Structure 1
């Protein structure tokens, strides 16, 4: 087995970095969706949601940086063009959403996709003995599951 400079199987880290690039692309779309709903939200829930969406996009922006830096740590290059992001993304694109329920539903649907990708990466990271990626995915999953629960509570829906 050939290992890289951090002691991980080189073949497995290339695959993980590719998966992380997919996650990065999806997070960039999610981030942009959050910016859009933050800017365009209207209605009686404006003040609360405007603030919440800002909190979420600030967090998503930090996660984008963490993912890109992890890809670099694994010895690969992070995607960095909108063309790459849109080609690789599974997260739904929200356009001109100003209604509160549609905005919150977009977040829930996006997080469902992100969680699926992250769980797949978590499994592969465990197999590769990649604790750095594993830890990152565990942290992301825990936070996002809580956000889904909160958004579903706001929608008055069961998780």
Structure 2
């Protein structure tokens, strides 16, 4: 079996690169959605949500960089054009969302898709003992599950 420079099988690493590029594309759309929510949120919860959306987009920006660097580590090339992101993303594009509940619903829907994609990558990385990708996906999943729980708790808040 041929391996790459970090000792992982080449064919399976190429498949992981493809999956990571799909995740990268989805994260780029998620990031841009969060920026739009941050800019456009209105209402009595503006101050809290404006800050929360900034926290989330800053976090997603870090994750985008980690994903792209993992693609490079595995010997691939990270996608880097908007057309690639749109064609590979499964996320809904949030346009002109200014209401709090609608914004949180978009984030929850996006997190559900991101978690599904990350679990696919986690399984494939585990199959070839790719601990670097595995660890990254585990960290992402744990953080996003907690964010999901917190946002769901917010949605159940009585007004």
Pair in the same fold by TM > 0.5: yes
- Tell me by how many angstroms 1:106 deviates: 0.5
Question: Which aligned segments of 4 or more residues in structure 1 are displaced greater than 3 angstroms?
Answer: none
- Following the alignment from structure 2 to structure 1, what is the Cα–Cα distance between the partners of residues 128 and 31? 29
List runs of 5+ in structure 2 lacking aligned partners: none
1:145 corresponds in structure 2 to: 145
The alignment's TM-score, normalised by the length of structure 1, stands at 0.98
| Counterpart position of 2:31 | 31
For residues 39-94 of structure 1, the C-alpha deviation after alignment (integer angstroms, 9 at most, x for no partner) is 00000000000000000000000000000000000000000000000000001110
Question: Structure 1 CA distance, aligned partners of 2:13 and 2:45?
Answer: 44
Aligned pairs (5 A) from 1:1-159:
1-156=1-156
Give distance in 2, aligned partners of 1:125 and 1:109. Answer: 25
CA distance in 2, matches of 1:135, 1:156: 32
SS at match of 2:49: helix
Quick one: distance in 2 between partners of 1:56 and 1:103? Answer: 12
Q: What root-mean-square deviation, in Å, do the aligned CA atoms of Structure 1 and Structure 2 show? A: 0.7
Structure-2-length-normalised TM-score: 0.98
User: Secondary structure of 2:98's match?
Assistant: coil
Q: CA deviation at 1:128?
A: 1.2
Alpha-carbon separation, structure 2, partners of 1:128 and 1:45:
46
Count of aligned residue pairs for this structure pair: 157
